[in-house]
Structures are given as C-alpha cells and as structure tokens.
Amino acid sequence: MKIVVLDGYCLNPGDLSWKELEKLGECHVYDRTSLTDVEEVIERIQDAEIVITNKTPISKEVFQRCPNIKYIGVLATGYNVVDVDTAKEKGIPVANIPTYGTASVGQFAIALLLEICHHIGHHNQVVHEGKWEQNPDWCFWDYPLIELDGKNMGIIGYGRIGQSTGRIAQALGMKVLAYDAFKNPDLENENCKYVELDELLSQSDVIALHCPLFPETEGIVNKENIAKMKDGVIILNNSRGPLIVEQDLADALNSGKVAAAGLDVVSTEPIKGDNPLLGAKNCIITPHISWAPKESRQRLMDIAVDNLKAYLAGKPANVVNA
C-alpha cells in the first residue's frame, strides 16, 4: 500500500517522526506540493491508495485522474481543500483531525489578548535598547496598560476551543458572554452565560472569534456589527480569517472605535502586502501559529495515524463525508 503525504513540513519540520505512519505502508513524504499545479499533485499521488494532505487541494479532476485513491486524510480540522462530494460519490472516506489543538488555540487567544493589554514584546525591546536606563523615573510605559478583571469576554462560537478560552478568561476574573447555536446549560455559572449575538456585541469589552466558517458566519465582524460594539472594544481572531471583513476592521481600528485587534489568521494566507490590516493601528498579526506547539502537532500526528489505522481495520473514524 502506497501512502503519500503531500505537504508534511508545517506539521513536521523535523522535530517529530513519521515512523508510525511508515509502519502502515510504503510512505512518501513531500515537504510541499503546489497549491495550484494540478499536474504536480496528480503526478505525486497517481498510484497511491492513501493520500494525506494539509492545504494541498484534492479536486474533482484529481479524483478522476487518480483512480487508485481509497482514503484521504486531512492534517487539519478544516477540510475544504478536498472535494468531499466527489470523494463520497467514489466511496472514498475523508477523515479530519477535529480536536488536537483545543488547548493550544485557546491559550494563544489569551496570549494575543495579554500582549494587547501589556505590550510585553515592545517593552522588553525598549529596555534592551536602553530606554529604561535613560529614563528619569523608576518605571515607564509607552502604551496604556489594561486590567482584565471584571471585564466581559464575548466568545462567538462556544465549542471546545471557545470553552478553553472561556475557562482561562474566567480564571483572569473576566465574565464570559457566550454565543453559540448549540447551548450547554451545564457550562453556565455566575461568570458565564449564553446570550444572543446583539447582546454580546453591545456588552463585551473583548470579543473572541472561535466559530467555524459557514455562510452565516462569514464576515460576521463587519461595519454593521462593529457599530453595535462598545467603543474601545478589543477583537481577537485565531479561528478563520474570512470571519472578518478586513477593510471594515481596519477602518474601525484607525478611527479608534476598535481599540486593538489580535489576529492569527487573515483572509488569504500567507498574507498579501495589500491587506488593509497591515497598515491599521493597534493590530497584532501572527502567522497562523495557534495550532503549532510541538505538543499539539504531535497530537495531530497521532490522530492522523489512528484515523488511518481505523480505516484499515474497517472502522473509519472522524469521517467528514459519510
């Protein structure tokens, strides 16, 4: 059985091992495969039964020209790079990795928030540049510092990751306002309650996006919804870039309506030089790394192997096109 990993580098730049996958068949791992050159994709997987991809698209044409494919494993939670309908028509299961990054993504959302509140990176830099040594006072700060205790954290999407962020926010003394289509009353307490979207927008000091990208959530942060928010709100997004209308957020940052934004995702990745958020005030942008701690990536690797083992045993797991 031939296994091909089309784009393994981001998952494993060298600090993990492919040995467990290699035990399951003849394994070929490519660091990267073109996202646009269909011929390269086909050339690499034409005789493979098992295809593992992260961001390399598996289109209808690829399925039609690679008749040996029997299983697709996606090295991520999102699976929009695969034509799952065509795969289903051909009886090919597509399995994703649904829960590997819950802790790391929740932690990163709070890291973005704490950086906005304290500007630790900046203040460390200016100390090393000599600004503290040259300062007439015993301390100084270049930005307003923010205490979170008692403030409201609105979380749009209160699934596993939203709940992870919510637990940390509550530990910091914040009160959580959660918005989700599926409500779990067991999660409510004096510091956490479900609310409707308009209440969340109007009452939150910080808004964190942890919802999937669906037609109803695409562009959920737009000028109309920003107008409903508190003046000086902080917005966090380490879920999906298209949840935000980027020009609208940039305008709100530049006007001061939104005090700051912490983003780990943007609409097109890698980011393009003309993205309006690059020139916006008080906007922190990191390169889609919430998922990338070694512990999280090892968990992803382990689940990907377990998914394939389950398929080979005749009991496919985490199938998204059943």
> How far apart (Å, rounded) are the C-alpha atoms in residues 275 and 227?
22
The strand pairing partners of 261, in sequence order, are 235, 283
Query: Cβ contacts of residue 206 below 8 Å, gap of 6+?
Result: 113, 148, 151, 152, 153, 154, 169, 174, 233, 234, 235, 236
Amino acid sitting at position 152: N
CB–CB of 148/174 below 8 Å? yes
> How far apart (Å, rounded) are the C-alpha atoms in residues 54 and 79?
8
CB–CB of 261/236 below 8 Å? yes
CB–CB of 164/178 below 8 Å? no
Q: Which residues are catalytic?
A: 240, 269, 288
The strand pairing partners of 52, in sequence order, are 5, 73
> How far apart (Å, rounded) are the C-alpha atoms in residues 96 and 76?
6
- 73: which 2 tokens? 């494993």
Burial of 42 (0-12, 13-18, 19+ CB in 10 A): middle
Cis peptide before 270 (omega within 30 of 0): yes
Report how many helices (DSSP H) and strands (DSSP E) the chain contains, helices first. 11, 12
